[in-house]
Amino acid sequence: MILADPPVTDTVRNAWTTLAIHRRGDLNLCDGCYELACGFSWYPCRKARCAQRALVEAGVDIC
């Protein structure tokens, strides 16, 4: 099986979904990391930073 890179629109959609889940919560902690894995991480967590980087690379204005 050969896996190809997903289309840019899928990458952008996945990045926006990740940012919607991994959001800043109380005390500047990531709510997504806590809700999904009962983990504590400062916001922006690793997943949020990767999603932000993917949006910037796709040319999407995230501000």
Tens of pLDDT, residue by residue over 14-60, are 999 999 999 999 899 999 999 998 989 999 999 999 999 999 998 88
Q: Which residue has the higher pLDDT, 9 or 19?
A: 19
Identify whether the C-beta of residue 5 lies closer than 8 Å to the C-beta of residue 53: no
Q: Is the peptide bond before 7 cis (omega within 30 degrees of 0)?
A: no
Q: What is the pTM of this model?
A: 0.79
Identify whether the C-beta of residue 22 lies closer than 8 Å to the C-beta of residue 48: yes
Consecutive H or E run containing 14: helix 8-21
Consecutive H or E run containing 32: helix 31-37
